[in-house]
Structure 1
Amino acid sequence: MNDLILVMAEADLKIDWTKMPTYNTIMAVAAGAGLLLVVGLGRRLLNPRERLEPAGWALAFGTLGALLAATGLHMTLTWPLAGQGFPFDNIIFGEPALAFGAMLLAAALFLWKRGDTLAAAPDRVALVARLAGPLSIFVFGMGLACFGIAAAGWTYQLFAAPPEEPISGEFAEYPWLEASFISGLYVLVGIGAVLFPFALRRPENWTTKVIGIVWAIAGIVFLLFGALNYFTHIGLIINTS
C-alpha cells in the first residue's frame, strides 16, 4: 500500500501531489471490511440456526462494493493513475479492487431483491452454491492473479515506503520486509479465492474452513493497515510537499 515513491535521494524528497493521486487508504479499509463480511455471511449460511437479515447485508455489501468499484474503476482506466510513475499500481490495487467491488455489488443486489428467498430456503448453502457456481470461475481466476501480484511484489521488491513516511519509513532500508508483508496478504486472499469453487461443490469439507481463516486474517490486516495508512500517508504528504 505504500509504494508511493520510486526514488530515495539524500536530499529531501519532494513530490508534486497534484500529479500523484492516492486513495488506497480507503480501498484497503473497504477491502478488509468486505473480506470480513464475506466470512461473516458464510458462517451464518453454514449454520441453519443463525438468523439472516438480508437487507442489512445488502446495505453493507452495497456500500463497500460502490467504494471499491468506483475507486478501482478509476484507477484501472487511468493509465497510469500517478503522473510521477507507478503504472503497476493500476494493476496491483485498481484491478483487484474493481473485481471485488463488482462482486460485492452483485451480492448486494441479490440480497436486496431476493434475500428473503435465501433466508427462508431449507438449504441455504445449496442455494448459494448453485447461484455462485458460475461466478466462482472468475473468483478462481482472480485468486491466481493475486498469486501473480504477490510474486511480482517479492521479485521486484515493491511496496517499500520512503524514509519520509512515518512508521513504515522506519523500514525503508529493508524493502523486502514490506514487500513480503503485502505480498503475503495477497497470497492469503489468493488461497481463499482459488479454493472457492471447490468449497461450493463440497461446503462441508476442509476448504471452507481454510477460506474462512485466510480471508479473516487478510481482512483484519487490510482493514487495520489501511486505517494506519491514514496517518502514514498524511505524514508523507506533509513531509514531501
Structure 2
Amino acid sequence: MSMTTEALKIDWAIMPTYNTIMSLAAGAGLLAVVIFSRDLFRFRRNNDATVSTDGWSLAFGVLGLILTTTGLHMTLTWPLAAGGFPFDNIIFGETSLGFGVPLLGAAFYLWRRGEALTSAPDPIAFAANTVRPLSLFIGGLGLSLFAIAAAGVTYQLFAAPAQEPISGAFAAYPIIEATFMSGLFALVGVGAVLFPFAIAKLRTSGAAASGLVKTIGIVWYLTGLAFLLFGAMNYFTHIGLIVNTM
C-alpha cells in the first residue's frame, strides 16, 4: 500500500480482503448457536416442541465452511500484511478459523448423531457431556478475544481511513472505532470464557447454570447481531473504499 498526504492509494491486487463475509458469517454463527440452544432447551421443557437437527447441521456446516476456509487462508497466507496490516490477519483470520472449525464439528455431529441427541432422556445434559472436552478450547478462545480487545484499545486498531464511506467519518478519532470493535470482541470473549463453566453445571444441574446460560445467550445474541449488521454494512463501505483508493 502506498500513501501520500493528499490521497490514499491501495494496490488491491496484492491485498485481498474478505472480512466482510467473515463478519457476516461470524455474526450469523453466534446467532445460530444461541437460537439452536434455545430450541434445545424448549425441546427439553416441552415434549411437543421439535428440533430440526438436519436443518441446524446444514446451517452450522455452511457457516463453518465459510469461516474455516477464509480464516485458514488468512491465517496461513497473511494477505493483509502487504498493505501494512499484518495484525489484522491474526485478529480476523485466526478468530474466524477458531470459530469455523467447531461449527463444522457441530454440523457433522448433528448430521450423524442428531437422533441420539433428541432421543436422550435429558438432551441438554447429553449435549453438555458431548461438548465438555471442546469447551476448554472455547474458553481459551475467549481469553484470546480479551487480548485482542486490549490490543485494539491500546494501539487504537480498527480505525477506517477517511476514504471509507460512513466509518471514515471517524478517521480523525480512531479511539471510537477501536473502542466499538474491541468491545464486541470482549463481549464475545465473556460468553466464551463462561462457556466451560456453564457446560460443567449443565452436565448435572440445569438450574444451577441458568444464570450463566442467560448471560452467554445475551452477549452472543447482541454481538452476533452487531457483527451481522456491521458485516452487511461493510459491503458498501469496503466497496466504496476500493473505489476511492484504486
TM-score, normalized by length of structure 1? 0.95
* 1:70 aligns to 2:69 (yes or no): yes
Q: Quick one: which amino acid aligns to residue 128 of structure 1?
A: A
* 1:163 aligns to 2:168 (yes or no): no
Partner secondary structure for residue 193 of structure 1 = helix
User: What is the Cα deviation at residue 107 of structure 1?
Assistant: 0.1
* 1:230 aligns to 2:235 (yes or no): yes
* 1:16 aligns to 2:21 (yes or no): no
Indicate the residue corresponding to 1:88 in structure 2: 87
Q: State whether residues 78 and 86 of structure 2, in contact with CA within 8 Å, keep that contact through their aligned partners in structure 1.
A: yes
Q: State whether residues 14 and 79 of structure 2, in contact with CA within 8 Å, keep that contact through their aligned partners in structure 1.
A: no
Count of aligned positions:
236
* 1:107 aligns to 2:109 (yes or no): no
Q: State whether residues 65 and 104 of structure 2, in contact with CA within 8 Å, keep that contact through their aligned partners in structure 1.
A: yes
Partner secondary structure for residue 83 of structure 1 = helix
CA distance in 2 between partners of 1:158 and 1:194 (Å): 23
Indicate the residue corresponding to 1:199 in structure 2: 198
* 1:31 aligns to 2:26 (yes or no): yes
Q: Which runs of 5+ in 2 are unaligned?
A: none
Q: State whether residues 32 and 221 of structure 1, in contact with CA within 8 Å, keep that contact through their aligned partners in structure 2.
A: yes
Match of 2:37 among 20, 38, 42: 42
Indicate the residue corresponding to 1:208 in structure 2: 213
User: What is the Cα deviation at residue 11 of structure 1?
Assistant: 0.6
Moved more, 58-67 or 47-56: 47-56
Structure with greater proportional helix content: 2
User: What is the Cα deviation at residue 170 of structure 1?
Assistant: 0.5
CA distance in 2 between partners of 1:118 and 1:135 (Å): 17
CA distance in 2 between partners of 1:221 and 1:15 (Å): 28
| Gap change, CA 1:217 and 1:171, over 3 Å in 2 | same
| Gap change, CA 1:175 and 1:111, over 3 Å in 2 | same
Q: Quick one: which amino acid aligns to residue 234 of structure 2?
A: N
Q: Identity over aligned residues, as a percent?
A: 61
Q: State whether residues 21 and 82 of structure 1, in contact with CA within 8 Å, keep that contact through their aligned partners in structure 2.
A: no
Question: What pairs with 1:126-141 in structure 2 (closer than 5 Å)?
Answer: 126-141=125-140
* 1:153 aligns to 2:148 (yes or no): no
Q: State whether residues 19 and 82 of structure 1, in contact with CA within 8 Å, keep that contact through their aligned partners in structure 2.
A: no
User: What is the Cα deviation at residue 6 of structure 1?
Assistant: 9.7
TM-score, normalized by length of structure 2? 0.93
* 1:240 aligns to 2:245 (yes or no): yes
Indicate the residue corresponding to 2:172 in structure 1: 173
Q: Report the RMSD for the aligned CA atoms in angstroms.
A: 1.3
